[in-house]
Structure 1
Amino acid sequence: MTDRLSQGDAAPDFTLPDSDGKPVSLADFRGQSVIVYFYPAAATPGCAKQACDFRDNLGELATAGYAVLGISPDPQAKLAKWVAAESLTFPMLSDADRAVMTAWGAYGEKKMYGKTVTGVIRSTFVVDPDGKIALAQYNVKATGHVAKLRRDLGV
């Protein structure tokens, strides 16, 4: 089982390419709060619902001081098509080798349709301005998750 992060842990740093191939680092967001979420696959119904929910709530999240980063194992070219198709307005990052997901405990064994499989564990984290985990949520649901997260954060 992959080690999971908890409140107070240092957020593992990363630099990953976004949908345009531009490198984005967690360190770029030091000094502000950032929501980092991991999802299994771009352009699938659940992942699209979750990404569009973040897009539609981005204004309120930004006003409350939160940036948003989405991370999947999809290649940059697939992310670029998806970002354009869904008009996503925040960075979607490619973790093709799943190293970042593994470091964050968002890749490993999970239950799917009653079977144990290895894959991306849909997870959301809030990283505080000092780079510490303020909130860690594993096995979140795609639908309704952003509304729940907003309630949890008081946004």
Structure 2
Amino acid sequence: MTPSPAADGRYPAPDFELPNQFGEPVRLSALQGQPVLVVFFPFAFSGVCSGELDELETVREEFGRDGVRMLAVSCDSKYALRAYSQARGYSFDLLADFWPHGRVASAYEAFDADLGRPLRASFLIDEQGLVRSVVRSGAGTPRPLQAYRDAVRELTSP
């Protein structure tokens, strides 16, 4: 369960380690010191998810200039995510929350246990490992790219 937010709305991001599309382990706490955008998405190769991740690929360099590392997480296997990444040309990590199925998405309260898939929920985590912004949308509805841009701008502006 996600911890309750502090008075300023921040709360510690649940730590995790998941394999990326190449089987390499990625641990959130190892990325402390830089902002991280964790994007949960329901399914590789689905239309809305592909559209969302395609948009994120277009701003990857922009966010990278602000020091933001992007991680996209689904319950697909690393093998499916590798094929998906290669087919779509993604240059950021796709992480497999495959087994135990949805454990990380559940820790972020971003898992639909009835359907066995992550919800459309994204978490911008600051350099100290605190969740600063959350972007959510309903099933079949893409998250607006501008919401990410606004969150990154708010986080990285002096």
- Same fold? TM cut 0.5: yes
Displacement of 1:118: 5.9
Displacement of 1:30: 0.5
Aligned to 2:128: 130
Displacement of 1:5: 6.8
> Structure 1 pair 3/128, CA: closer, same or farther in 2 (3 Å)?
closer
Q: In 1, distance between residues paired with 2:135 and 2:26?
A: 22
Aligned to 1:105: 109
How big is each residue's C-alpha offset from its partner over 1:9-65, in whole Å with a ceiling of 9 and x where there is no partner? Answer: 110000000000111110121000010010000011111111111111001101112
Displacement of 1:136: 1.8
> Structure 1 pair 117/91, CA: closer, same or farther in 2 (3 Å)?
closer
Percent of pairs with identical residues: 24
* 1:4-23 correspondence to structure 2 within 5 Å: 6=5, 7-23=9-25
1:82 aligned to 2:93? no
Q: In 1, distance between residues paired with 2:147 and 2:134?
A: 13
1:154 aligned to 2:158? no
Helix, strand or coil for the counterpart of 1:35? strand
Displacement of 1:117: 5.5
- Contact 1:5–1:136, Cα closer than 8 Å, also in 2: no
Q: In 1, distance between residues paired with 2:4 and 2:48?
A: 24
Q: In 2, distance between residues paired with 1:123 and 1:136?
A: 7
> Structure 1 pair 4/38, CA: closer, same or farther in 2 (3 Å)?
farther
Higher relative contact order (CA 8 A, sep 6+): 1
Runs of 4+ in 1 over 6 A off after TM superposition: none
Q: Give 1:122's aligned amino acid.
A: R
- Contact 1:4–1:104, Cα closer than 8 Å, also in 2: no
Task: Report how many aligned residue pairs link the two structures.
Answer: 147
TM-score, L = length of structure 2 = 0.84
Aligned to 2:29: 27
* 1:38-53 correspondence to structure 2 within 5 Å: 38-53=40-55
TM-score, L = length of structure 1 = 0.86
Q: In 2, distance between residues paired with 1:5 and 1:82?
A: 35
